[in-house]
Amino acid sequence: MMHLLRAELRKVTTTKVLFFLVLAVIAFTALNVFLLVYLTPSAMGQVDSGQLLMNSEYIGNIIGAAGSSSIFVLILGIVGMTGEYRHMTITSTLLVTPRRSRILLAKGGLYIALGAVIGAIAFATAYVLALATLAGKQHAPIDGTIAAQIFGGVVLGFAIYAFVGVAVGALIRNQVAAVVGALIWVLVLEALLTVFVDWIGKWLPGGALDAVLQATNVSGRGGTEILSVWAGAAVLIGYAVLFGALASATTMRRDIT
């Protein structure tokens, strides 16, 4: 298994996809921090602006902006798996390791680690920018305990979400279809489903991720409430295992030519 992990690491670090997606995570996280610090309070008026920044929960939400870039680790996992079929590197991979389930496990394990690292980068970006942008402003203190909880949630959530991406990519081998389908599901369909059936939102992948990230549910994906952190993690892992099992039983068994 170790040689498979080393091979997967070499694949992902010798392409530009990882670099650009990490840049996208940093940029999107920074954008959300700036919006929460400058635009949202300004839009609420001069009086409400000061009151908002004095709200400790709102300060926590600013740091929690790290979770807003989770979609990029999902895409990273999808591209990492579907890229094998798009560029036909899957042929040489299978010549070395014909057991396809081991390939899925090795790739999933590596992307869990990558997701955790990217989650730490996203948190560091949000935390440093929060300190910088709030300097000189009247605001509630940053609670170290809350920040630590957010850090743990972002690292865990990004790690599992990257694994979900790998499983989705294994199930839907076409890269464009997998990425576009995932984006439509996360950004549109989950919110629509929650509108019609409110209770179902927290059991969907996006709602479960919100629970792990401990996010204030402004996305509409989780409905009126979200699960606990560990329940959300269990649901998200369940989706990853389900997609992976379906892929192992169907698409990964098919001929690659």
- Per-residue pLDDT tens, the chain, 257 aa: give them: 777 777 777 888 888 889 999 999 999 999 999 988 887 766 665 445 567 777 778 888 888 889 989 999 999 999 988 887 776 777 777 666 767 677 788 888 999 999 999 999 999 999 999 989 888 777 778 888 888 989 999 999 999 999 999 999 988 888 999 999 999 998 888 888 888 887 888 898 888 888 888 765 444 444 456 788 889 899 999 998 898 888 878 766 666 65
Position 219 scores a pLDDT of: 43
Cα 75 to Cα 86: distance, rounded to the nearest angstrom = 15
Cα 165 to Cα 150: distance, rounded to the nearest angstrom = 22
**Total residues belonging to the chain:** 257
Position 220 scores a pLDDT of: 41
Position 253 scores a pLDDT of: 64
